[in-house]
Amino acid sequence: MSECNIGRRTLLKGSLGAGILALAAGFGLVRPARLLAAGWPSNAFGAETEAEAVQALFGDAIPVPADAVRLEAPKQAMYGRAVPVRVRADMDGVELIAILTEHNPHPLNTYLRVLGPVGHYGTRIRVERTSPVTAYVRAGGRLYKASVTLKVTRGGYGVNVL
């Protein structure tokens, strides 16, 4: 008898979810995946060097170090699986923020297209080994950057992972 109830509940949940999804699609709130992925920079995420990823994201723009862009990250991480980082861009017209780790097999960790006036972004990134981490910010048609070197250790004993 309990198996019948579980089956019925699953059917009701599935029907309700499908109905809501159909209603959302009817109102244009849900779009096909091919439309959502149209602007996805797969060549930037597939790049094997930081220079290739920057080229794929920003074209021929030359990044300039700027005091208005700050990358906040710990100096040392016990494990590089989920290192907290924060980018603060105190400037007008921020369009895009990207975080890259030079020594990762695929350097582009994440990027964000900014739709509002706020140029702040916080996330967690994977850092394979001790490496420079760079934040790139496109604002007002120009490209800015800020970098820190993040040391990754094993077990927190100060053994450098090379």
Residue 58's identity, in one-letter code, is: F
What pLDDT digit, counting tens, does each position of 115-135 carry? 777 788 999 999 988 999 999
The full set of domain ranges for the chain reads: 2-30, 47-160
What pLDDT digit, counting tens, does each position of 41-52 carry? 888 889 999 999
Superfamily classification of domain 47-160: SoxY domain (2.60.40.2470)
Residue 119's identity, in one-letter code, is: G
Task: Report the candidate in 83, 152, 146 with the shortest Cα–Cα distance to residue 119.
Answer: 146
Residue 11: pLDDT band (50, 70, 90) is: low
Q: H or E element: which one contains 33?
A: helix 33-36
User: What 3-state class would DSSP assign to 51?
Assistant: helix
Residue 97: pLDDT band (50, 70, 90) is: very high
